Amino acid sequence: MGIRADEKARARDRIVEAASVLIRDRGIAGLKVNDVMAAAGLTHGAFYAHFENKDALVEAAFHAALDHREGWFRSAEKQPRDRRAAHLCATYLTERHRDHPGEGCAFASLAREFAQSGGPFPEIFEQELNVSLSRLATLISDDTSALHDRQTAIGLLSLCVGGMVLARAVADQDLADELLNAAAAYGASETRQVGHTPDTDNPKEKDPS
- Looking at residue 142, what is its pLDDT? 83
102 neighbors 25 (Cβ within 8 angstroms): yes
- Looking at residue 73, what is its pLDDT? 95
- Looking at residue 203, what is its pLDDT? 34
55 neighbors 45 (Cβ within 8 angstroms): no
- Looking at residue 196, what is its pLDDT? 45
- Looking at residue 68, what is its pLDDT? 86
pLDDT at 207 over 70: no
Q: For the residues 68-72, what does the mean pLDDT come to?
A: 91
Average pLDDT of the chain is 89
| Closest among 129, 135, 101, 99 to 114, alpha carbons compared | 129
Choose between 189 and 181: higher pLDDT. Answer: 181
pLDDT at 205 over 50: no
Structure confidence at residue 2 as a pLDDT band (50, 70, 90): low
Q: For the residues 183-199, what does the mean pLDDT come to?
A: 63
Task: Please give the domain boundaries of the chain with CATH numbers for all domains.
Answer: 3-52 (1.10.10.60), 68-192 (1.10.357.10)
| Closest among 95, 188, 68 to 140, alpha carbons compared | 188
Burial (CB < 10 A; 0-12, 13-18, 19+), residue 18, is buried
Q: For the residues 104-120, what does the mean pLDDT come to?
A: 93
Residue range 136-174, pLDDT digits in tens:
999 999 888 999 999 999 999 999 999 999 999 999 999
